[in-house]
Amino acid sequence: MHAASLLKEPLPEEAVRVACLTLMLDESQANLDRVGGKPLSERILEMRGPKV
């Protein structure tokens, strides 16, 4: 895709934003792991409730 000019390099502020979001996700998962909690994906499924 890059060779076909369908991709572009991220702007510096975009790269910083992505790095921050990734860090937040990693920290959240580490916090859950540390306290022995369920994986975040399982918690979200439980919060959604049963499928109708």
pTM: 0.37
- Measured at the CA of 17, the angle between CA 19 and CA 36, to 5 degrees, comes to 50
What stretches of 1-52 show up as alpha helix (H) in DSSP?
12-34, 40-48
With beta carbons less than 8 A apart as the criterion, state whether 31 and 38 touch. no
Per-residue tokens: 11? 């702007």
pLDDT of residue 5: 79
Q: 12-47, pLDDT tens digit by residue?
A: 888 888 888 877 888 877 887 887 777 778 888 888
Give the integer Cα–Cα distance in Å for 12 and 36. 36
